[in-house]
Structure 1
Amino acid sequence: MLAQRTERETGSGLMDIKFTNRLSYKQARLTVLVGFILGTLLSLIQIGIDYASEDASINREMQALLQISHNPASRIAYNIDAELAQELTRGLLQSPAITRARLIDNNQTVLADVQRPRQESGYRLMSDFLFGDNREFQDRLFLSHMPDDYLGTLFLEVDTFTFGSRFLKRAEVTLLNGFMRSLILTGILLGLFYIMLTQPLVRVISALSNSDSRNPAQSKLSFPPGHEHDEIGVLVKVANQQFVSMATEIQQRRNAENRLTDYLNELENIVSARTNELKASNTRLSQSNEELEEARRRALDMAQARAAFLANMSHEIRTPLNGLLGMIALSLDSPLNAEQRQQLSIAHDSGKVLVELLNDVLDLSKFDAGQLELERIPFDLGALVEDTANLLSQNAAPSVELTCLIDPQFPSMVLGDPTRVRQIVSNLLSNALKFTRFGRVDVRLSSYPGGVRLEVCDTGIGIPSEAQVRIFQPFTQAGAGITRQYGGTGLGLALTNNLCEAMQGRLSISSEAGFGSQFSAELPLPSHTAAVPAQALRGSVAAISNASSGLAELLQTLLPGWGLDYQRYDSPEQLKKATPDLLITDDLDCLFNLRPLISAPILLVTAYGNFLPGEQAAHLAPLQQQARPLARNALYQTLRRTLHGADSINQSPLSGAQYSERRARILLVEDNPVNQLVAKGMLAKLGCEVSVAAHGADALEQLEQSPFDLVLMDCNMPVMDGYEASRRIRQSGRWPDLPIVALTANAMPEERERCRAAGMSDYLAKPFRREELLALIDHWVPLTTT
Structure 2
Amino acid sequence: MLAQRTECETGSEPMDIKFTNRLSYKQARLTVLAGFILGTLLSLIQIGIDYASEDASINREMRALLEISHNPASRIAYNIDSELAQELAQGLLQSPAITHVRLIDNNDTVLVDVQRPRLESSYRMLSDFLFGERREFQDRLQLSHMPDEYLGTLFIEVDTFAFGSRFLKRAEVTLLSGFVRSLILTCILLTLFYFMLTKPLVRVIRALSNSDSRNPNQGKLSFPPGHEQDEIGVLVKVANQQFVSMATEIQQRRNAENRLTDYLNELENIVSARTNELRASNASLSQSNEELEEARRRALDMAQARAAFLANMSHEIRTPLNGLLGMIALSLDSPLNAEQRQQLSIAHDSGKVLVDLLNDILDLSKFDAGQLELERIPFDLGSMVEDTASLLSQNAAPSVELTCLIDPTFPALVLGDPTRVRQIVSNLLSNALKFTRFGRVDVRLRRETGGVRIEVCDTGIGIPHEAQVRIFQPFTQAGAGITRQYGGTGLGLALTNNLCEAMQGRLSISSEAGFGSQFSAELPLPAHTLAIAPAPLQGQIAAISTAGSGLDELLATLLPAWGLTYQRHDHLDTLTMQQPDLLITDNLSALFDLRPAVKAPILLVTAYGNFLPTEQATQLAPLQQQARPLTRSALYQSLHRALNGADTMTPSPLQGTPNNERRAHILLVEDNPVNQLVAKGMLAKLGCDVRVATHGAEALERLEQHDFDLVLMDCNMPVMDGYEASRKIRQSGRWPTLPIVALTANAMPEERERCRAAGMNDYLAKPFRREELLTLINQWVPL
Residue in 1 aligned with 2:384?
A: 384
Per-residue CA deviations over 1:378-431 (Å, capped at 9, x if unaligned) read: 333223322332344344343332211112232333332333323322333344
- Does the CA contact (< 8 Å) of 2:601 and 2:622 recur in 1? yes
- Does the CA contact (< 8 Å) of 2:535 and 2:652 recur in 1? no
- Does the CA contact (< 8 Å) of 1:744 and 1:764 recur in 2? yes
Cα 1:333–1:567, aligned 2, differ >3 Å: closer, same or farther? Answer: farther
> Does 505-514 or 694-703 show the bigger shift?
505-514
1:668 to partner: Cα distance: 1.9
Residue in 1 aligned with 2:690?
A: 690
Distance 1:324 1:649 in 2: 36
Distance 1:391 1:629 in 2: 10
Aligned-partner residue type, residue 358 of structure 2: L
- Does the CA contact (< 8 Å) of 1:636 and 1:653 recur in 2? no
- SS in structure 2 opposite 1:317? helix
Instruction: Give the root-mean-square deviation of aligned CA atoms.
Output: 3.6
- SS in structure 1 opposite 2:388? helix
Residue in 2 aligned with 1:452?
A: 452
Residue in 1 aligned with 2:736?
A: 736
- Does the CA contact (< 8 Å) of 2:363 and 2:495 recur in 1? no
Residue in 2 aligned with 1:503?
A: 503
Residue in 1 aligned with 2:714?
A: 714
- Does the CA contact (< 8 Å) of 1:412 and 1:655 recur in 2? no
Distance 1:511 1:575 in 2: 39
Aligned-partner residue type, residue 698 of structure 1: E
The answer to whether the aligner puts 1:427 opposite 2:427 as a matched pair is yes
The answer to whether the aligner puts 1:704 opposite 2:711 as a matched pair is no
Counterparts of 1:48-67 in structure 2 under 5 Å? none
- Does the CA contact (< 8 Å) of 2:367 and 2:498 recur in 1? no
Aligned-partner residue type, residue 710 of structure 2: L
Counterparts of 1:755-774 in structure 2 under 5 Å? 755-774=755-774
The answer to whether the aligner puts 1:628 opposite 2:624 as a matched pair is no
Distance 1:318 1:711 in 2: 21
Distance 2:505 2:739 in 1: 38
The answer to whether the aligner puts 1:674 opposite 2:674 as a matched pair is yes
- SS in structure 2 opposite 1:411? coil
1:377 to partner: Cα distance: 3.5
Cα 1:676–1:559, aligned 2, differ >3 Å: closer, same or farther? Answer: farther
- SS in structure 1 opposite 2:443? strand
The answer to whether the aligner puts 1:520 opposite 2:520 as a matched pair is yes
Distance 1:563 1:517 in 2: 34
- Does the CA contact (< 8 Å) of 1:389 and 1:404 recur in 2? yes
Residue in 1 aligned with 2:398?
A: 398
- SS in structure 1 opposite 2:704? helix
- Does the CA contact (< 8 Å) of 1:356 and 1:419 recur in 2? no
Residue in 2 aligned with 1:778?
A: 778
- Does the CA contact (< 8 Å) of 1:350 and 1:391 recur in 2? no
Counterparts of 1:181-192 in structure 2 under 5 Å? none
Residue in 2 aligned with 1:5?
A: none
Distance 1:322 1:708 in 2: 24
Distance 1:497 1:376 in 2: 19
Aligned-partner residue type, residue 292 of structure 1: L
Cα 1:699–1:481, aligned 2, differ >3 Å: closer, same or farther? Answer: closer
- Does the CA contact (< 8 Å) of 1:671 and 1:693 recur in 2? yes
Q: TM-score when scaled to structure 1?
A: 0.58
- Does the CA contact (< 8 Å) of 1:575 and 1:597 recur in 2? no
Aligned-partner residue type, residue 502 of structure 2: A
Residue in 2 aligned with 1:553?
A: 553
- Does the CA contact (< 8 Å) of 2:585 and 2:604 recur in 1? yes
The answer to whether the aligner puts 1:724 opposite 2:724 as a matched pair is yes
- Does the CA contact (< 8 Å) of 1:534 and 1:654 recur in 2? yes
- SS in structure 2 opposite 1:692? strand
The answer to whether the aligner puts 1:596 opposite 2:589 as a matched pair is no
Distance 1:327 1:640 in 2: 36
Residue in 2 aligned with 1:295?
A: 295
Distance 1:714 1:519 in 2: 41
Residue in 2 aligned with 1:254?
A: none
How many equivalent pairs are there?
Answer: 514
- Does the CA contact (< 8 Å) of 1:472 and 1:494 recur in 2? yes
Cα 1:652–1:751, aligned 2, differ >3 Å: closer, same or farther? Answer: farther
- SS in structure 2 opposite 1:702? helix
Cα 1:687–1:533, aligned 2, differ >3 Å: closer, same or farther? Answer: farther
1:288 to partner: Cα distance: 1.8
Distance 2:652 2:685 in 1: 18
> Does 328-337 or 542-551 show the bigger shift?
328-337
Distance 1:316 1:386 in 2: 32
- Does the CA contact (< 8 Å) of 2:360 and 2:495 recur in 1? no
Distance 1:281 1:570 in 2: 85
1:699 to partner: Cα distance: 2.1
Cα 1:511–1:351, aligned 2, differ >3 Å: closer, same or farther? Answer: same
1:676 to partner: Cα distance: 2.6
Consecutive unaligned residues of structure 2, counting only runs of 5 or more, are: 1-270
Residue in 2 aligned with 1:662?
A: 662
- Does the CA contact (< 8 Å) of 1:454 and 1:521 recur in 2? yes
Distance 1:368 1:462 in 2: 29
Per-residue CA deviations over 1:422-468 (Å, capped at 9, x if unaligned) read: 33223333443344443322110112243111112233455566765
Per-residue CA deviations over 1:495-531 (Å, capped at 9, x if unaligned) read: 4333322211122334456544332211011233444
Cα 1:681–1:709, aligned 2, differ >3 Å: closer, same or farther? Answer: same
Distance 2:528 2:356 in 1: 24
- Does the CA contact (< 8 Å) of 2:640 and 2:649 recur in 1? no
Cα 1:483–1:782, aligned 2, differ >3 Å: closer, same or farther? Answer: closer
Cα 1:553–1:338, aligned 2, differ >3 Å: closer, same or farther? Answer: farther
- SS in structure 2 opposite 1:737? coil
1:348 to partner: Cα distance: 3.7
- Does the CA contact (< 8 Å) of 1:414 and 1:529 recur in 2? yes
- Does the CA contact (< 8 Å) of 1:545 and 1:585 recur in 2? yes
Counterparts of 1:13-52 in structure 2 under 5 Å? none
1:587 to partner: Cα distance: 1.3
1:621 to partner: Cα distance: 4.5
- Does the CA contact (< 8 Å) of 2:651 and 2:657 recur in 1? no
Which protein has the larger Cα radius of gyration, Structure 1 or Structure 2?
2
Q: TM-score when scaled to structure 2?
A: 0.59
Distance 2:756 2:448 in 1: 40
- SS in structure 2 opposite 1:363? helix
- SS in structure 1 opposite 2:367? helix
Cα 1:307–1:342, aligned 2, differ >3 Å: closer, same or farther? Answer: same
Aligned-partner residue type, residue 299 of structure 2: A
Counterparts of 1:225-240 in structure 2 under 5 Å? none
Counterparts of 1:138-537 in structure 2 under 5 Å? 280-334=280-334, 344-462=344-462, 472=472, 492-511=492-511, 515-535=515-535
Distance 2:539 2:696 in 1: 59
Distance 1:648 1:678 in 2: 33
- SS in structure 1 opposite 2:603? strand
Distance 1:484 1:733 in 2: 60
Aligned-partner residue type, residue 316 of structure 2: E
Cα 1:767–1:538, aligned 2, differ >3 Å: closer, same or farther? Answer: farther
Residue in 1 aligned with 2:606?
A: 606
Aligned-partner residue type, residue 406 of structure 1: I
- Does the CA contact (< 8 Å) of 2:660 and 2:774 recur in 1? no
Cα 1:473–1:732, aligned 2, differ >3 Å: closer, same or farther? Answer: closer
Aligned-partner residue type, residue 680 of structure 1: K
- Does the CA contact (< 8 Å) of 1:388 and 1:422 recur in 2? yes
Query: Identity over the aligned pairs, expressed in percent?
Result: 84
- Does the CA contact (< 8 Å) of 2:360 and 2:492 recur in 1? no
Residue in 2 aligned with 1:213?
A: none
- SS in structure 2 opposite 1:282? helix
Cα 1:525–1:647, aligned 2, differ >3 Å: closer, same or farther? Answer: farther
Aligned-partner residue type, residue 498 of structure 1: N
Per-residue CA deviations over 1:278-324 (Å, capped at 9, x if unaligned) read: 55543332222222222222222222222222222222222222233
Residue in 1 aligned with 2:544?
A: 544
Aligned-partner residue type, residue 419 of structure 1: T
